[in-house]
């Protein structure tokens, strides 16, 4: 707020307070020509309701005066007029930072007991399971589900199938730095028969519903189009986040129409990085929890 606006607001506030004080004083005094206290005025309603010339009770007036004194004291001690910070130096931002620092200190004291322990060791600790479960509910359940079983497009974290690896260091990297995967679209470079053969092959890798000649042609096309990422035997590649295609676990669905869509139009996914949202110890505890529920 500019200095001119500060002066304007301050003047307006002070004039309002002084105006209230003057109004109390003016209404409490008897005006010239008025009847004495307790005498009747000329106004009568409904034949029995009469107006008396009585001022407000003194205790009531004193309460109004006390509120005015309080307002002056408040504006002197706390910020209430433009850029004036008050003699106490209090502010909402300062109070927020103070409370946040207290919470951070208490959290650090609570997490200090887990210092110096590996992810594998922490994963076996029941207390870590509770703390990690709360961290998971706050930061991960929105995508992976409260039970960590995932959904279409979001990996299941409660099994042993991993896009980027399930070792502790790999889980730590995924949480801290996030992951970004992209499968290009191949619809424009495949003939309809080739697309059909790939869908049949990928949908049932060990025994595709194809003739021997068709299966051989499909595997040849797979070697050209898909093997660079998914491996020659569809075993996947954790370095690239390419899923294994030779099992029954599917990130975007394993029905023929799902596979056809994936091959034709491609797929993309992004897991956000949490290193700016969580402390190093929180990430470690969260990794321990994920490692624990994966059954490793």
**How confident is the model at residue 110, as a pLDDT?**
84
Structure confidence at residue 237 as a pLDDT band (50, 70, 90): very high
Q: Is there a contact between 155 and 163 (Cβ–Cβ < 8 Å)? A: yes
Structure confidence at residue 239 as a pLDDT band (50, 70, 90): very high
Length of the chain measured in residues: 296
Give the Cα separation of 260 and 266 in Å (integer): 9
pLDDT reading at 231 higher than 60 = yes
Query: In whole angstroms, what separates CA 49 from the centre of its chain?
Result: 63
Q: What is the pLDDT of residues 157-213, one digit of tens each?
A: 999 899 999 999 999 999 999 999 999 999 999 999 999 999 999 999 999 999 999
Q: Is the dihedral of CA 37, 38, 44, 49 positive or negative?
A: positive
pLDDT reading at 125 higher than 90 = yes
Nearest one of 269, 251, 262, 243 to 179, comparing CA atoms = 269
pLDDT, average across residues 236-265? 95
Measure Cα distances from 98 to 20, 94, 104 in Å: 37, 6, 10
**How confident is the model at residue 107, as a pLDDT?**
84
**How confident is the model at residue 142, as a pLDDT?**
95
Q: What is the pLDDT of residues 7-56, one digit of tens each?
A: 888 888 889 999 988 888 887 776 555 555 555 556 677 777 877 666 67
């Amino acid at each position: 707020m500019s200095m001119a606006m500060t002066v304007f607001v301050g003047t307006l506030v002070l004039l309002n307070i002084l105006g209230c004080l003057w109004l109390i004083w003016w209404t409490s005094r008897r005006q010239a020509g008025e009847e004495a206290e307790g005498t009747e005025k000329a106004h009568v309603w409904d034949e029995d309701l009469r107006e008396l010339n009585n001022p407000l009770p003194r205790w009531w007036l004193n309460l109004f005066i006390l509120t005015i004194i309080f307002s002056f004291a408040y504006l002197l001690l706390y910020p209430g007029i433009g850029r004036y910070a008050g003699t106490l130096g209090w502010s909402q931002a300062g109070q927020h930072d103070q409370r946040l620092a207290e919470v951070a200190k208490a959290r650090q004291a609570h997490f200090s007991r887990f210092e110096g322990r590996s992810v594998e060791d922490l994963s076996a600790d029941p207390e870590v399971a509770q703390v990690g479960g709360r961290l998971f509910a706050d930061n991960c359940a929105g995508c992976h589900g409260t039970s960590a079983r995932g959904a279409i497009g979001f990996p299941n974290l409660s099994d042993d199938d991993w896009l980027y690896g399930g070792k502790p260091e790999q889980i730590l990297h995924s949480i801290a730095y996030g992951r970004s995967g992209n499968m290009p679209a191949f619809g424009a470079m495949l003939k309809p028969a080739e697309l059909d053969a790939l869908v049949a092959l990928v949908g049932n890798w060990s025994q595709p519903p194809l003739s021997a000649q068709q299966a051989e042609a499909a595997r040849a096309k797979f070697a050209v189009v898909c093997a660079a990422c998914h491996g020659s035997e569809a075993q996947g590649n954790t370095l690239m986040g390419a899923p294994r295609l030779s099992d029954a676990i599917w990130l975007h669905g394993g029905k023929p129409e799902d596979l056809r869509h994936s091959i034709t139009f491609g797929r993309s996914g992004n897991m956000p990085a949490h290193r700016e949202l969580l402390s190093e110890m929180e990430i470690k505890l969260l990794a321990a929890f994920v490692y624990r529920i994966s059954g490793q």
